[in-house]
Every structure is written in C-alpha cells, then in structure tokens.
Amino acid sequence: NVLPACLLLALLLLAPALSAQHERGLIFNLEVGELCLQSAQCKSGCCHRVSGLSLARCAPKAAEFQACSPKSIYGMYYKCPCERGLTCDVDKTIVGSITNSDFGVCKDPQGS
C-alpha cells in the first residue's frame, strides 16, 4: 500500500519537470488541427468536432459574428467559444446545455 502512494507522489513531482523540458508536449499545448480530447489540451482553448462521429481537433476560437457555443462543462465543442473580449449571444436553455446544441453568435458587448 505504501509503494503506490510513493509512486504517485514521484509521478506528481516528476511531471512538471518532464513537461518543462518540452515547450510543446504530446498532451497539452496542441496546435490548431491536432487531435484532442479536451479543450484544455489546445493552445486555442477549443477542442472542436464537426459531428458526434468525427474526431475532435483543436480549432481557433470564434471571431465576431461567427457561430459560437457558450463555455461547456464537457470540454468539447461543436462550435468554439468566442475570442477574448467577445460574448456568445445565445438563448440558454436547459435542453441546449445538456445536448451541447445551444449555439449563438459572437458579439462585442461594448458594441451597439
């Protein structure tokens, strides 16, 4: 029982040192177009899939007037969230949140 705890501690201490050696790791800091499982893996912050059957890839965040999704708890998007400074103007419904289909349009909150 002591060995797994020591092994876990060693891995936790070693992981940052190993990732510091590589500016771009295999799991995080993925570029646009690379396969992903979670948005946290992507430099852009958006892991995007076209459909439920397609592979997810890192994609750029949505620009002004582009379709968007509000931030998701799933870490995977059919439409990327907006770039910094923009808001995703969407009618939030409980059904849309559950099915990850509550899409909107990126807008500048300071605009008219």
Asked if 89 and 107 touch (Cβ cutoff 8 Å), the reply is yes
HSE, CB side, 13 Å, CA atoms: give it for residue 20: 5
The residue-averaged pLDDT of 102-112 equals 85
- The residue among 96 and 90 whose pLDDT is bigger is 90
CATH for 25-107 is 2.10.80.10
Domain locations in the chain as residue ranges: 25-107
8-55, pLDDT tens digit by residue?
666 666 555 444 444 444 588 999 999 999 999 999 999 999 888 889
Residue with tokens 């993925």: 30
Q: Are 72 and 53 in contact (CB under 8 A)?
A: no
